[in-house]
Amino acid sequence: MNVFGIGLPEMALIMVVALLIFGPKKLPEIGRSLGKAIRGFQEASKEFENEFKKEADRIEKSVNVPMKATLEPSQKVLAATEAAAEQDEPVADATTEPDAVSQTQQG
């Protein structure tokens, strides 16, 4: 068993020293106070964690809304560009000689 990096023998030694210093009458009161302090610390820690998560979610939502607004028009432009690219016809065939093209345009 290892609590806060303190093993069972060290914990027993701390308990014996506390018993000698404070006496058997004060030890339960000190234990209660210590328990209340630990519980208060845990509650404060959970409250901090919840507030942190709420802020992180709020920030994430505030970032996602502008990103969606930016992505939608760019997707429309991309779709329009692809549609225009499909409708493009080559001006001249790659196998046609330049002279033949100029003769067909003149005549």
Distance of alpha carbon 62 from alpha carbon 42, whole angstroms: 30
> How do residues 46-102 score in pLDDT, each as one tens digit?
999 999 999 999 988 887 777 776 767 677 777 777 776 676 655 555 565 666 555
In a domain, 17, yes or no: yes
pLDDT value of position 49? 95
What pLDDT is attached to residue 95?
63
Global confidence as pTM: 0.44
pLDDT at 52: 94
Residue 37 CA: distances (Å) to CA of 7, 31, 41: 22, 10, 6
Residue 42 in any domain: the answer is: yes
Q: Is residue 95 a part of any domain in this protein?
A: no
Mean pLDDT of 35-54: 94
Alpha helix ranges (H) inside the chain:
8-87, 98-106
Does a structural domain hold residue 104? no
pLDDT, residue 88, reads 61
Is 83 a domain residue? no
Q: Per the domain annotation, does 44 fall within a domain?
A: yes
Instruction: Count the domains in the chain.
Output: 1
The predicted pLDDT at position 63 comes to: 78
Tell me what pLDDT residue 48 has: 94
CA distance linking residue 41 with residue 39, whole number of Å: 5
Name 7's bridge partners: 2
Structure confidence at residue 1 (pLDDT): 59
Does a structural domain hold residue 86? no
Residue 91, in any domain of the structure = no
Domain that holds residue 13: 2-78
